[in-house]
Amino acid sequence: MAEQPVCFITGGASGIGAACVRRFAQAGYRVGFGDVQLDKGRGLANAIGAGALFVPLDVRHESDFAAAVQAVVARFGRLDCLVNNAAISGVLGPIAQVPMEEYDYTCAVVQRSVFIGTQLAAQVMQPQRSGAIVNIASIAGITGGAGPHVYSACKAAVIALTQSVALELAESGIRVNAVAPGNIETPIHTGVTDERWTTRMARIRPLHADDQAIDRMGQPEEIAHAVAWLASDAASYVTGHTLVVDGGFTAGRPWRKQPGHWRELHRTKRGSAQ
């Protein structure tokens, strides 16, 4: 019987990260995951059982990240997949008013952590001559107006890094891809990770329901399915790709929100052609 594959997920205690932890465990992976949310992380690991390992992790610090990867490899013996998921919405506000210390903090969590994680994963995976890295990007890194300035810039950098590193690591049998979620129901929209996020999400949900062609916000599990597919052998010929999972947000303005005369002209033309 083939050895169970091993995945490590950052920011795995809640939101998309927690959905990925559960999805990879269901797919037969042994799963290591890290987060600064210690109680949530330990609770999720206990719920999954012996095939899961939670490690405290602040992705801003290279030494913490290295220790976390080492702990996963020591426990499970290998690393087949890394999901760089940890992120925050980061500093908000007009460009002229962004404090540089908050800029640096946001970049450290959202973009620098992806670089660190990818570097550490490559060090483990290259001797194996196999592996998959999946970075969680965002539609904010693809189109304007979908996120705050610094967050958007960092997510665009994640996409560029994904493409660049994919070209190098393909020669070591390692695939590197990204997923760009749209409006997903996670705590990042609410600014809190405790029980208050449910109440806040109930207020936010209707505001985003009409943003995309599919008239609802997405669920973390829908992103986890895309991540798991990119990590699997079913995507063995896919690398350097950013898979957009956004309900049609980046495709354009939903048809129901198009100017009425467009729809009327369409009907008129159809009638004249018959």
For the chain, what is the radius of gyration of the CA atoms?
20
| pLDDT at 270 (0 to 100) | 56
On whether the CB atoms of residues 90 and 109 are closer than 8 A, the answer is yes
Residue 43's Cα: distance from chain center in Å? 21
Nearest alpha carbon to residue 57 among 48, 49, 66: 66
> Known catalytic residues?
151
Taking the C-alpha atoms of residue 147 and residue 136, their distance in angstroms, rounded to an integer, is 15
| pLDDT at 30 (0 to 100) | 98
| pLDDT at 209 (0 to 100) | 84
On whether the CB atoms of residues 11 and 35 are closer than 8 A, the answer is yes
Q: Which long-range contacts (CB under 8 A, 24 or more apart) does 156-160 make?
A: 157/111, 158/84, 158/110, 158/111, 158/114, 159/242
- In this prediction the pTM is 0.92
On whether the CB atoms of residues 10 and 117 are closer than 8 A, the answer is yes
On whether the CB atoms of residues 88 and 102 are closer than 8 A, the answer is no
**Longest CA span, the chain:** 71
Q: With b meaning 16 or more CB within 10 Å and e meaning fewer, what string describes 153-178?
A: bbbbbbbebbeebbeebeeeebbbbb
Taking the C-alpha atoms of residue 193 and residue 191, their distance in angstroms, rounded to an integer, is 7
The tens place of each residue's pLDDT in the chain, 274 residues long, gives 358 999 999 999 999 999 999 999 999 999 999 999 999 999 999 999 999 999 999 999 999 999 999 999 999 999 999 999 999 999 999 999 999 999 999 999 999 999 999 999 999 999 999 999 999 999 999 999 889 999 999 999 999 999 999 999 999 999 999 999 999 998 877 777 777 878 888 888 888 888 989 999 999 999 999 999 999 999 999 999 999 999 999 999 998 888 877 667 655 555 555 5
